[in-house]
Each structure stands twice: as structure tokens, then as C-alpha cells.
Amino acid sequence: MMPKAAAAVEAGKGTGASPVSKSSIDSKKAKNSKRFGGKLKKLFQYSILPVGLIVVWQLAYDQGLINPVTLTSPLKAWQRVLKLLESGVLLENVAASLQRVVTGFAIAAVLAIVLGIAVGWSKVMERLFDVIIQVLKPIPPIAWIPLAILWFNIGEASKLYIIFIGAFFPVFVNVVDGIRQIDSKYIEVAQIYKLPWHKLVLQVIIPGSLPSIMTGLRVGLGVAWVCVVAAELIAAESGVGYMIMDARNLAQTDTMIVGMLTIGVIGKLMDSILKKVESLFAGWR
């Protein structure tokens, strides 16, 4: 029996066939195929509505159902994108807007997180800031534009101020709510071990409220992008908002559509980046 078994093993080696390994390979192939099919299905679900709208838009334009003076076609808008990229106008204006957004949002985020931690943790700080926060929070950021121009003229400071106002409150509110939702058991354990204030903040408060902080940052960044475009529409010499307003004055609907779509695409990319950061640092929730 032993020689026969050995011969069978050698025969299996010679042919390179193994029932176990073959089944595992087939299983992996099936899983990969299923995963690939799932990705294609998701891609189809994500793209079917935008692609369908573009097709209907182009067909309506070709059939004369759309006035070319008031709205351009997707094809002409794409051609305009290529021209603006080639001339550098689009990238220049996008860079100007992004620089304003990043600067204003960074200032707002830092101050909102610091003040939010203080207000969320201390009842005294909450009573000190509650009235002024509740009064200023409902005021739309765009309503501050006239005062911003009076205070800072039409320079960069006025735009940064509008961005700051727009981004501050979403971050602040979410930080305060996140701190108040921390399980009291963690606070009690930290007090038992008599953690210093800075360690309590870094090891308990911030990690415990991180999901809410990230949500506030995502909302605040979106509002900041809206605010910079609104400010540029009114008083600016560069930026995506300025490009849209300048195109309106020249009746260039294709450039206006390009500017509007650029706002949407960049907003989506910025939100996706923050969502990725959130999954890295707060994926446990």
C-alpha cells in the first residue's frame, strides 16, 4: 500500500494538480469576480443619473428646446473647460479661491475647536458665551458682507472674515455637542486617576468627541467654500466667483456653467478628503 500511495503522491506532483488548491483558486476567482461585479454595480448607480441628465441636456439643446443665449450645451461647456485650462485662467481662479478657503477655514477651525472644548466642558464658559453665540449663529454669513466691506474694504481680509464667520459656527456647535455626548464613565475614570487638564483634553475629551468634530469640520468646510464664492461674486478681482460674475457681464453662459460645475466638483473633492481623514481617525464609531 505504501508504494502505491507514494506513487499517487508523485503522480499528483508531476501533473501539478491538487484538488484542494484548485478549489481554493476557484473560490478566490469567484470572490474576485463578485467583488468586481459589485464595484461595477456601484459605479453604474453613481453615474447613471448624472450621465442621463447630461444626455437629456445635450439632446434638448440640439433639438432647439433650449435658448443658447441663456444656457449653453454640455459639449460647448466641455470645450470651454479645455480653453480655460489651456489659457490657465481656470486654474488661476481656482487657486485664488482655494487659498482663501484654506486660510479662513483653518483660522475658524482652530478657534472653534478651542472655544468649543472650553464651552462644552465648563458651565461657566457656557453661561458667558451662550447669549452671544445664540444671537450671532442664525445670521447668514452673506449678511455680513456689507459690514465686512466697510470694515476691511474689498481686499482679502473681508473675504477671509466672511469665510471665518461661515465656517466657525458649524464646527463650534458640533464640538460642543460631541463633548456633551462623551460617556461620563470616561470622565469619572480620568478624575479618579487625577489626570492633568491637558492630558484630560488630549486623551479623553478630543478622542471621545472626535466623530462630532470631524462632522463639524466637513460641514464647516462646505460652508466656507460657499461663502468664498458668494464674497467673490460681490467684491473680488480673482477667484471662481469673480470668474462667474465676469462671464455674466460678458454673457458667456458656457464660462458661467464651467465656474458653477467647478464649485461643485471641488466641493465634492474637499468633502471626500475630509471623509477619508474621518475614516482614518474616527473609523471606530
Q: Are 206 and 129 in contact (CB under 8 A)?
A: no
Q: H or E element: which one contains 244?
A: helix 240-249
CA distance 167 to 172: 9
Cα dihedral across residues 64, 65, 70, 71: positive or negative: negative
Q: What is the pLDDT of residues 231-253, one digit of tens each?
A: 887 777 888 888 988 888 888 88
Grid coordinates belonging to 122: 465648563
**Whole-angstrom distance, CA of residue 159 vs CA of residue 153:** 10
Q: Is 141 helix (H, G, I), strand (E, B) or coil?
A: helix
Quick count: other Cβ atoms within 10 Å of Cβ 51? 11
Residues 73 and 62 sit within 8 Å (Cβ to Cβ):
yes
Main-chain phi, psi angles of 140, to 5 degrees? -65, 140
CA 152 – CA 156 distance, rounded (Å): 8
C-alpha distances out from residue 231 to 89, 105, 222, Å:
19, 14, 15
**Which 3-state string (H, E, C) describes 199-246?**
HHHHHHHHHHHHHHHHHHHHHHHHHHHHHHHHHHHHCCCCCHHHHHHH
pLDDT above 90: percentage of residues in the chain = 22
Q: Using alpha carbons, select from 224, 233, 280, 252 the residue that is nearest to residue 112.
A: 224
Q: What percent of the chain has pLDDT over 70?
A: 86
For the stretch 57-112, pLDDT in tens is: 889 988 888 888 888 888 988 999 999 999 989 999 999 999 999 999 999 999 99
DSSP secondary structure string, 33-70?
Answer: HHHHHHHHHHHHHHHHHHHHHHHHHHHHHHTT-S-TTT
**First vs last Cα of the chain: how many Å apart?**
60
- Rounded Cα distance between 84 and 88, Å, is 6
pLDDT in the model for residue 56: 92
Compute the C-alpha angle 79/84/86, nearest 5°. 95
Other CB atoms within 10 A of residue 56 CB: 11
pLDDT digits (tens, 9 = 90+) for 200-227: 777 777 777 788 888 899 999 989 988 8
- The helix (run of H) or strand (run of E) holding residue 176 is helix 156-180
Mean pLDDT calculated for residue range 14-18? 47
Which three cell numbers, joined as nine digits, stand for 77? 461647456
pLDDT tens for residues 169-208?
Answer: 999 999 998 888 877 777 777 777 777 777 777 777 777 7
Determine the residue type at 214: M
101, 103, 104, 105 alpha-carbon torsion, rounded to 10°: 70
What is the reported pLDDT for 95? 93
